[in-house]
Amino acid sequence: MPKFTPSELDAHKAKLLAAPAKKAVIKVGLNTCGDAAGAQPVMAAIKEEVQKAGLDAQIVKTGCSGMCALEPLVEVTTAGAAPVQYGRVTAEAAREIVEKHIKGGRVVDAYKVPSVGDMSSEKPVPGKQYRIVLRNCGVIDPESLDEYIARDGYQALKQVLSGMTPEQVIAELETSGLRGRGGAGFPTFMKWKLTRASRPGEQKYIICNGDEGDPGAYMDRSVLEGDPHAVIEGMIIGGWVIGASQGIFYIRAEYPLAIERIEKAIKQARANGLLGKNILGTGFDFDLEVRLGAGAFVCGEETALIASIEGLRGTPRPRPPYPAQKGLWDQPSMVNNVETLANIGQIVLRGGAWFGAIGVGRSKGTKVFAVTGKVKVSGLIEIPMGTTLRQVVMDICGGTSSGKPVKAMQTGGPSGGLIPASLLDTPITYEDLGKLGSIMGSGGMIVMDESDNTVELSRFYLDFSVDESCGKCAPCRIGGTQMLRTIDKIVERKGTAADIAKIRKIALTMQRGSLCALGQTTPNPVLSALRYFESEWTERLVPATKK
């Protein structure tokens, strides 16, 4: 393929869109989740059947649509009809679907499941999904640059490079109100602005934080696997705005498919003049490389991440200096989360005001969550900010799987907290979740029903954080272990009221004394469980005896 100029990119897009549609399109979700659920044999069976019957059908390997509980997923669109989603498809079922639906034109009701479309709306409304970040996930073949280009891919980059100033891009971001999706919610425009202003003319770096590690959270993996070019496009725009010529994808090594797809996409972009020297013929040079994380959760913290790239032990260091001042190899650097970067292209194309109109208060746009636990339909969802927790459980995820009432929800992973059923009408915003002692976090969300136990859930998260403490600073290194031992005592029903007081004291020491957010927030799950479900703790204590 040629190296694109802006006009050639448009011409290529027009050509792709003008291509005649196949009579039928069969999409098979083949992210890590689909693969694990057995989508490979399904794909093979479909290919075989289509070929055998000589059908005019396009078979597409897509990313994950988010309906993870229903994998393997097969979506069939025949000419003139709405897409039909089939779930928990086996190879046998796939053959049946080809036979009956593609060949015979009859929907196979036995395998039909709700689709993302059923839960989404064209406009952002509460109680429905609205897809910006996930707009291509489960829709396009992530390994096809053409499919990305056909869906407005690299249009934002083109727009930025052929007419916008960096300041204009930053202004759009400011208007959009986009905040860091890694969890902390720092205004993205501010990060870009500060890094752009820092030491102009010097070597700078943009880094994509793909070290997603919260237990049960896989938003970033899904985006990297399902729409890699969207993240790459965000990186190139970010690099151009801050004045970087080099970007680095830091992806945890446990995400081999994400790494493979990103590497493939980088090669495609480079081969087509979208990356490397003289991007889109505009004279802008920027390239990307992939570095792998070695399994430490704390390397998702930006300064630890930078140390890890430098080949040092992955431990956080004090800020200031912030990476914008002194980051990778001591140069100005900007670390953005995968989901944040995946928003950039759409904000540029559709305008900051469009994005800013979605959401409430200071929480704008959408947020992707991985909803797990006791819900009917678990998986990945993208909702407008301000959607309530109840809407997520009841409207989007179909209520609890057990039919029992919701007891609590957990957001923010090991740094977050429990929110009791009585507060389910809380809108999902950075501020509202924070007020309840939890956090937005990166997007983990666990639903508990009344058979669940908050002592054990908070112990699970604490155990995770203790295991992942880097060991650099005393409050986190020792405090976490001491707290865990105390909780174990309570779980074994050997604890006393003094142990509850001890937990609170350790928690305060960790919150105030820890260097990084990992240590500061480690006590959150435990503290919120104590706050809302104290009786679950006290009933496990050894009763006070009279002396």
Partner 1 sequence: MTVKAIINGIPVEVAEGTSILDAAKKVSVKIPALCKHPDLDHTAACGICIVRIKATGRTLRACCTPLENGMEITTHDPEIVNVRRGIVEMIMSKHPNECVTCARNQNCELQTMCADFNIHTTDLDNIVPDLPVDATTKSIVLDPRKCISCGRCIQVCQKDQNVWALTFMERGIETRIAPAGDISMAESPCVKCGQCSAHCPTGAIVEYDEGPDVWAKLADPELHCVVQIAPAVRVAIGEAFGFKPGTNLTGKIYAALRRMGFKAVFDTNFGADLTILEEGSEFVERFAHGKGELPLITSCCPAWVDFMEKYHSDMIPHFSSCKSPHEMVGALSKTYYAEKIKTEAKKIYMVSVMPCTAKKYEIQRSDDMKSSGYQDVDVSITTRELARMIKQAGIDMQSIPEEQPDHLLGAYSGAGTIFGATGGVMEAAIRTALKLVTGQTPGRVDFEVTRGLKGVKEGVLEVAGKQVKIAVAHGLGNVEYVINKVREAKQKGEAPPWHFIEVMACPGGCVGGGGQPYGVTDELRLARAKGLYQEDQAGMWRCSHDNPYIQKLYDEYLGKPLSEKSHHLLHTHYNPRPQYQR
Query: With binding defined as CB under 8 A, does residue 320 bind partner 1?
Result: yes
**Residue count at the site for partner 1 (CB under 8 A)?**
32
Q: What is the spatial distance between Cα 276 and Cα 287, in angstroms, rounded to a whole number?
A: 5
Residue type, 69: A
CB of 316 to partner 1, least distance (A): 9
Q: Do residues 242 and 195 touch, judged by C-beta distance below 8 A?
A: yes
| Residue written as token pair 């919260």 | 214
Q: What residues from 448 to 477 belong to the interface with partner 1 (CB under 8 A)? A: 466-475, 477
Q: What gap in Å lies between CA 157 and CA 240, rounded to an integer?
A: 10
Tell me which of 78, 129, 136, 509 binds partner 1, using CB under 8 A.
Answer: 509
- Per the document, the length of the chain is 547
Strands 366-373 and 444-449 come out as parallel
Count the alpha carbons within 13 Å of 349 in the hemisphere toward its beta carbon: 17
Q: To the nearest whole angstrom, how small is the minimum distance from the Cβ of residue 505 to partner 1?
A: 6
Using CB under 8 A, pick the residue from 5, 121, 481, 538 that binds partner 1: 481
Q: How far is the CB of 507 from partner 1 (least distance, A)?
A: 10
Position 485 contacts partner 1 (CB under 8 A) = yes
Q: Which is nearer to partner 1, 126 or 321 (CB)?
A: 321
Q: Name the DSSP letter for residue 525.
A: H
Q: Which two tokens stand for residue 203?
A: 């070597």
Rounded to 10 deg, the angle between the 474-491 and 497-513 helix axes is 160
496 interacts with partner 1 by CB under 8 A: no
CA separation for the pair 42, 241 (Å, rounded): 44
Residue 20 or 320 with smaller CB distance to partner 1: 320
CA separation for the pair 152, 149 (Å, rounded): 5
Judged by CB under 8 A, does residue 331 bind partner 1?
A: no
Q: Does 256 bind partner 1 (CB under 8 A)?
A: no
Choose the binding region for partner 1 from 58-66, 228-236, 417-425, 506-514 (rule: CB under 8 A): 506-514
Return the H-helix or E-strand segment holding 229: helix 228-242
The residue (of 59 and 490) whose beta carbon lies closer to partner 1 is: 490
**Which amino acid appears at position 485 of this protein?**
R
Question: Is residue 92 part of the contact set for partner 1 (CB under 8 A)?
Answer: no
482 touching partner 1, by CB under 8 A: yes
- Rule CB under 8 A: is residue 291 a binding residue for partner 1? no
Q: How far is the CB of 92 from partner 1 (least distance, A)?
A: 47
Which residues is 205 bridged to in the sheet? Answer: 246, 333
Residue 170 or 510: the one with the smaller Cβ distance to partner 1 is 510
In the complex, least distance from residue 531 CB atom to partner 1, rounded to whole angstroms: 19
Q: Would you say 88 or 317 has its CB closer to partner 1?
A: 317
Nearer to partner 1, 120 or 522 (CB): 522
CA distance 417 to 222: 24
The Cα–Cα gap between 251 and 223 comes to: 12
Positions that interact with partner 1 (CB under 8 A) = 296, 313, 317-318, 320, 466-475, 477-482, 485, 498, 502, 505-506, 508-509, 512-515
